[in-house]
Amino acid sequence: MKRLFFSLTILCALGLQSVSAAKPNILFIMVDDLGKDWISCYGADDIETPHIDRLAKGGLKFHNAWSMPQCTPTRATLLTGQYPWRTGWVNHWDVPRWGVGYFDWAKYTSFAKVMKTAGYATAIAGKWQINDFRIEPNALKKHGFDDWAVWTGYETGNPPSNERYWDAYIHTRSGSKTYKGEFGPDIYCNFLIDFMKQHRDEPMMLYFPMALTHGPLVPTPDERNATSSRDKLKGMVRYTDTLVGRLVAALDELKIRERTIVIFTTDNGTSGGLRGTVGGKRPSGGKASKYEGGVCQPFIVNAPGLVPGGRETNALTDFSDLLPTFAELGQAQLPKGVTLDGKSFAPLLLGQADDSPRDWIMALGHGAGRLDEKGVRGTRDFADRVFRDKRYKVWLGNKPEITALYDLKNDPLELHNLLKSTKPEHLAALKKFRGIIDSQPKVDGRPLYRPRKANPWDKSINAQPAKEKKPRPKRDRRRQRKADQQ
């Protein structure tokens, strides 16, 4: 009954005659390594992002939307609707580079697969990095995407694959190759626009995990003379805004803007020492941090024909909510036999509710969690994590015990640990969060450890037996050590 109600809501808003035509397009844009401190509608001091700001002014702007603190935990969470402790993607597994932590289509679901159950045409452009396309060139098809143009991630033993910007190394249905002299973000954006043109008469699920603004910092086509790291980052942020404007303009030109839900967000906070300022102050943290500056992201939803504009919300949501939200908006079937951690907030987007269904949200990752049985990339069973409700936030270390309590209303920079407070409201908050924590496993899940067949480029597999070395006199060994030191 609930799903029928929202189907009728979308149908009336669009003034269309069939349920299939009423399904909205969804364009999900996710920038890499950029916090609120570089988005002007969130108060950034040192930049203007007019196209993104217009989306916020004409749509719904979130203040409490959480990602994970790192790249691949965020991506796995939004793809699956499941928390990293369930899937095992609790840290950053750089799959093409390390050869571990493979995102297996047989083991994990994806929102692309879900949306295809409702007849959506699906496409991805930008950054993937959680499969090695040398092992399975059609991995993205198996994950539910009809078409793709993505940077492969750095493939060990293949130096050209390191390039995501100038001379970008990009994987399409035709294979992987270098696009000499071209700027990768332009290729990704143009690919999506071409896909829109081809599928304008059917519902589309478009996923744009941008390569921008992750390092290496480079001059963009609009600011080729930028030299300092900060000037390059500013140029990359401005080019991000330009691409957002280009995509929105394409939607207008194709006359599908009013039935396209555009979502703009980022995968984690700003990297390293490049954080910007809001009101003259730097955020409490950045990339890989579980402070708000690392996990609380810009999140804007805009669709003139569907999402009432001019709104801001303190509703709680995290990236596990995206799959069920997409499914409800598109009338798609949720995967059977899969436990989802997220909850749909489609009613909030459509103006049918004033809040999300979430009473708490979670972020997890960085520096913890098991991956390989041989001890590769982390050995802890329980990854660091944080939980929050609308007022309070708790931190956990490498075991399920609360190490800090913060009042985000009065202490947004998380400076004053209230863990030892005896005030009734603080004790009540701790009791609430301990109940949430106790409901979760004490040991994180584990991802697929290694690709399912040997990599021909793996030197450890193809190495020749070492030649037996004859012992050398002590004098020779001392001489060699001295030479090595020089």
Q: pLDDT tens, 21-64?
A: 489 999 999 999 999 999 999 999 999 999 999 999 999 999 99
Task: Using the predicted structure, report yes or no on whether residue 16 has a pLDDT greater than 90.
Answer: no
Q: What pLDDT band is residue 6 in, cutting at 50, 70 and 90?
A: low
147 in a structural domain: yes
Residue 362 is assigned to a structural domain of this protein: no
In a domain, 469, yes or no: no
Q: DSSP letter at 325? A: H
CATH label of the domain that carries residue 123 = 3.40.720.10
285-292: long-range contacts, CB 8 A cutoff, minimum separation 24: 286/35, 287/33, 287/69, 287/70, 288/69, 288/70, 288/366, 288/367, 289/69, 290/69, 290/363, 290/366, 290/384, 290/385, 290/386, 290/395, 291/413, 291/414, 292/393, 292/408, 292/412, 292/413, 292/414
**Are residues 364 and 384 in contact, defined by beta-carbon separation less than 8 angstroms?**
yes
Query: Which H or E element spans position 206?
Result: strand 204-209
Structural domain contains residue 399: no
Domain range holding 320? 2-7+22-355
In this structure, the dihedral spanned by the alpha carbons of residues 112, 28, 83 and 389, taken in order and rounded to 10 degrees, is -150
Q: Which amino acid appears at position 437 of this protein?
A: I
Q: What was the pLDDT predicted at 17?
A: 37
pLDDT at 470: 45
Does residue 54 lie in a domain region?
Answer: yes
Range among 362-376, 378-392, 439-453 rated most confident? 378-392
CA 210, CA 124: separation in Å to the nearest integer? 10
- Domain total in the chain: 1
Rounded to 5°, the CA angle 109-67-321 comes to: 50
Q: What is the pLDDT of residue 22?
A: 82
Residue 396 maps to a domain: no
pLDDT given at position 448:
66
Residue 421 corresponds to which tokens in the numbers above?
Answer: 């407070």
479 lies in a domain?
Answer: no
Task: Report the alpha-carbon distance of residue 211 to residue 300 in Å, rounded.
Answer: 19
Residue 239's pLDDT is: 98
Residue 481 lies in a domain: no
Q: Report the C-alpha dihedral over residues 242, 243, 248, 254, rounded to 10 degrees.
A: 120
First to last CA, the chain: 77
